[in-house]
Amino acid sequence: MWLIIKILRIFPPEIAHKISLTLLFFIHRLGLLNIFKNEKQSETIEFLGLRFKNTLGTAAGLDKNGDYIDCLGALGFGFLEVGTITPRAQAGNKKPRVFRLNKDKGVINRLGFNNKGIDHLVTNLKQHKYDGVIGVNIGANKSSHGKKRIEDYIECIRKVYKYTDYITVNISSPNTKNLRNLQNSKNIDKLFVALENEIHTLKIDKPIFIKISPDESLDTIKYIINKVQNSKITGMIATNTTTDKSTLKDEKYWDYEGGLSGEPLREKSNNLISEIRRVSEEIPLIGVGGVMSQKDYKEKLDLGANLVQIYTGFIVEGPGLIHRIINK
């Protein structure tokens, strides 16, 4: 497996990602993913009315379009989150837009919600055979602004809610211009009104999460926590990538635009999880950011996350990391 990972690192990161998932797809079709089967099958976990095989899942971005649900599910994840998806297909930002930080075990991406659109994802959600929990992470198109941006989230919810177990509203990606402005009090109030109206109209009884940035002030985070607690929104996902590159060992990347993930994000993510738990012991919380080992995974649970997601750790360490986390 390590040989394959080393070979893939010869390719540019975005191409390597595509090759990796394509290989995984065909290996699964050949029935050869049993080597990653969970040997230590624990009891299922009940959370928010859903039954999870375990508390480890994929973060949004790994499978944006739901093209690889079955093969990723076969690796032993307790749940999968696909997306970020937008109403209309879009190419995303100009390439190159993904950068490996080998010294820091991190990745900088400025992809910009590149995806095939909500209708493509819905088709995949109707056809998959994976029997675990699936969440859909939704976003706004780059060309949408103001009120139209909020309408994009509502359009995605209308099209996807029947075919997913939960929904994540992504208002924290740093790679769509001004998207993080939705986290300020004025804009988030408008967003929550629109979301609650749609939840009521469609009679949605599935969990809906807000995914937040690690770069917001504590006052902003407390405001969002209060909004969630006093609304029909279920919980929070902490965190998205950070724009803070100041801790990187490789100074070359200090001024790179985009979101930083992997090991350099771990402390920021953990600090925010701790702060959320300090403010509220009850709010449903999914932790993500910098999970590079079984120890990192357990730390997020110990800090109060109900579930944990992984992305960059999976890319850096390979599928074996999933096996090590689940079977310990």
74-96 pLDDT, tens per residue?
A: 998 999 999 999 999 999 999 99
Chain-centroid distance, C-alpha 238: 9
Residue 119 pLDDT more than 90? Answer: yes
Strand, coil or helix: 180: helix
pLDDT at 3: 52
Strand, coil or helix: 209: strand
**pTM across the whole model:** 0.94
Are 101 and 248 in contact by the 8 Å Cβ rule? The answer is yes
Domains and CATH numbers, the chain: 2-326 (3.20.20.70)
Tokens of residue 33, six digits:
């993913």
A 10 A CB-CB count for 184 gives: 13
- What percentage of the chain exceeds 70 in pLDDT? 93
Alpha carbon distance 174, 180 (integer Å): 7
1 vs 144: which has the higher pLDDT: 144
Contacts of 6 (CB under 8 A, 6+ apart): none
Residues serving a catalytic function are 173
pLDDT at 11: 67
pLDDT at 176: 87
The single residue listed with the structure tokens 């009120």 is 147
Alpha carbon distance 228, 213 (integer Å): 15
Tokens of residue 56, six digits:
């480890």
Mean pLDDT of 92-108: 93
- State the chain's mean pLDDT as an integer: 91
Mean pLDDT of 257-285: 95
* Phi, psi dihedrals of residue 108, rounded to the nearest 5°: -110, 130
The single residue listed with the structure tokens 């770069």 is 215
- What percentage of the chain exceeds 90 in pLDDT? 74
Q: Integer distance in angstroms from the first to the last C-alpha of the chain?
A: 20
Are 176 and 112 in contact by the 8 Å Cβ rule? The answer is yes
Alpha carbon distance 306, 286 (integer Å): 6
Confidence band, pLDDT 50/70/90 cuts, at residue 318: confident
Q: What is the DSSP letter of 115?
A: B
pLDDT at 28: 83
Alpha carbon distance 295, 312 (integer Å): 15
Are 158 and 198 in contact by the 8 Å Cβ rule? The answer is yes
Residue 149 pLDDT more than 80? Answer: yes
Q: What does each C-alpha distance from 98 to 8, 44, 111, 183, 280 come to in angstroms?
A: 14, 36, 7, 25, 35
Are 58 and 77 in contact by the 8 Å Cβ rule? The answer is yes
